[in-house]
Structure 1
Amino acid sequence: MGKILITGASGNLGSRTLNLLLKKVPADQVAVLVRDPQSEKIERFVKEGVEAHQGDYFDYNSLLRAFNGVDKVMLISAQAFTDRNTQHFNVIAAAKQAGVKQVIFTSIIRRENSNLIVPEVSMSDLFAEQTLKASGLAYTILRNPPYLEVMHMYFGDALKAGVRVPEGSGKVAAASLDDLAAANVAVLTQHGHENKTYTLSGSEGSSFADIAEALSEISEMDIPYEAVSEKEYIDSMVANGLPVFMTDFLLGWVRGVNTGEFSETSGDLERLIGRKPMTYKEFFKYQFSKVED
């Protein structure tokens, strides 16, 4: 197996992918691209033999240097509210120029022919997918659902205020970062995933009403679900100190959930990791147990 490089290796998904990858691949076959190779998050991996490259998606020359001698690049998608199109294009172009054989890209789940636009995410992810497919590189596109770890951001502190979101009965098959990282590692270490697109949905969908019910059961408290107008939703978040650009961003995800944009349970995630993904009830139960401790 040739060298594997993970971009964004100090981030939430990238760091989990790196941890799991090192359980399957010798450290000297793994490289990372990070802004600060001397950070505590990365330093311990360097001591184990991982090759760390300083750089970022905007610095094309740093990408060329990092990709030299690399067979597979795990492209963790760029953060929202940045020039994602330029960043993703640079990574794909540099990988092509450096002789990389395969790029694995983390994209967003969406229904075919969907008109929903999640601000700062969906259109730039589609651009990256199209660019990667046109590059001539072998590719694997891993379409990620909303993360279980960020679901609370859509409705705030449910234990204090309940689940207050705009009305909708759609469901979201969210998945945990650990399960998605395991899928990344499966693709990085196995053959047969070239030129394929996977929908990495969780195994069980839930509406916001379902989440309120689950939280009530787990906490043994009455966690109400309350449908509010989009204006009330935004006004409430602004009153709690959230900038307007973030309220629009979160509203886009909530609309996606309410319209069933993320409801598909494809089974791809379970097949890749070889087990049932963590359900939303299991996740919230685990989180609540940590709060109690």
Structure 2
Amino acid sequence: MGKLLVTGATGNLGRQTLELLLESVPADRLAGLARTPERAADLAGRGVDIRQGDYLDQASLVRAFDGVDRLLLVSAQAFTDRNTQHLNAITAAKQAGVKHVIYTAIQRDEALGINQVGVTESDVFTEQALRASGLTYTILYNPMYLDQFDGYVGADAYEKGVRVPPGEGTMAPALLRDLAAGNVAVLTQDGHENKTYTLNGSEAASYRDIAATLSEIHGRTVPYLPVTVEEFHESYVRNGLPEPVAEFLTAWVAGVGLGSFSKSTDDLERLIGYRPTGYREFLEKNYPSVAPRTGSGA
């Protein structure tokens, strides 16, 4: 039986997936991909085979994927050449004899035609390349991350209100740990071949709903205060974010109001066998001090 390999072993989603895999899979069956293996020394110390590889170096990927049965392809970071990186990984997987590739994409509503800057076009390209490769695949559409909630509404909503672009669209954000558990299910179980899943937390909410929930938690009114897309974008720039990042996050947050993330399913709950954490429970315990984060790409 071949190994299960997780790319992005030093990022949030990849690392949490490997940590959960260690709870149910012998360490000698697990491998992780990292550009800098030393950054995953703790996982290596627990028996995970950390292999050096870079999405931009196809030869390194062919070596890293040797003997791998199922591969979790964590999508590359936005604002990079994702098309080349993902195609390199898919081509290398086929050359190395990988049987099943699981790809983490970003949730989207194609009927609305909303383009999430930096990810939508490359996700579509990657999914088409994966289906054309002849490899067995599973595509996991990821929602907004609860762990990064302050990046969407700010850490100061209790003082300034929920100031976001207008719209009544909803989202059902999920914890990275719950999404990692979904990854584990697909990596370790049969029956997910050539399927796509839209993953969500257990509760959907609009920004107006979130303001009302924060009001209940805080015991004082937290107003919902829609602002223009331009004003929201400028707030990111004033806080020191590079222009491409500000543009990306603005499109992401505005997309929620427009309905990009409104599709809600029970796919994640069925995969992991328990109710994913909902936004209300998370906010009660964690807002405004949300968990620190690192890069989530490979």
Q: Which TM-score bucket, shorter chain as reference?
A: over 0.9
Q: How many residues align?
A: 289
Comparing 243-252 with 59-68, greater Cα deviation is found at 243-252
1:36 Cα deviation from its structure 2 partner = 1.6
1:108 aligns with 2:118: no
Counterpart secondary structure, 2:37: coil
Map of 1:222-233 to 2, 5 A cutoff?
Answer: 222-233=221-232
Q: Which structure is richer in relative contact order (CA contacts within 8 A, separation 6 or more)?
A: 2
| Residue deviations 1:12-50 (CA, integer Å, cap 9, x gap) | 1111100001111100000111012122xx212212221
One of 34, 49, 53 as aligned partner of 2:47: 49
1:180 Cα deviation from its structure 2 partner = 0.4
1:139 Cα deviation from its structure 2 partner = 0.4
Correspondence for 2:30: 30
Work out the CA distance in 1 between the residues paired with 2:288 and 2:281: 11
Correspondence for 2:276: 277
1:290 Cα deviation from its structure 2 partner = 6.0
| Overall identity of the aligned pairs, in % | 56
Correspondence for 1:19: 19
Correspondence for 1:128: 126
Work out the CA distance in 2 between the residues paired with 1:289 and 1:144: 23
Map of 1:1-293 to 2, 5 A cutoff?
Answer: 1-39=1-39, 42-157=40-155, 158-288=157-287
1:275 Cα deviation from its structure 2 partner = 1.1
| Conserved? CA contact 1:8–1:33, under 8 Å | yes
Q: Which of structure 1's runs of 4+ aligned residues deviate more than 4 A? A: none
Work out the CA distance in 2 between the residues paired with 1:199 and 1:227: 28
| Residue deviations 1:42-85 (CA, integer Å, cap 9, x gap) | 21221222111112100111101100111111000000111000
* Unmatched runs of 5 consecutive residues or more in structure 1: none
* Unmatched runs of 5 consecutive residues or more in structure 2: 291-298
| Conserved? CA contact 2:150–2:288, under 8 Å | no
1:89 Cα deviation from its structure 2 partner = 0.3
RMSD over aligned CA atoms reads: 1.5
| TM-score between both structures, scaled by the size of structure 2 | 0.93
Task: Decide whether aligned partners of structure 1 residues 48 and 240 sit closer, same or farther in structure 2, where only a CA change above 3 A counts.
Answer: closer
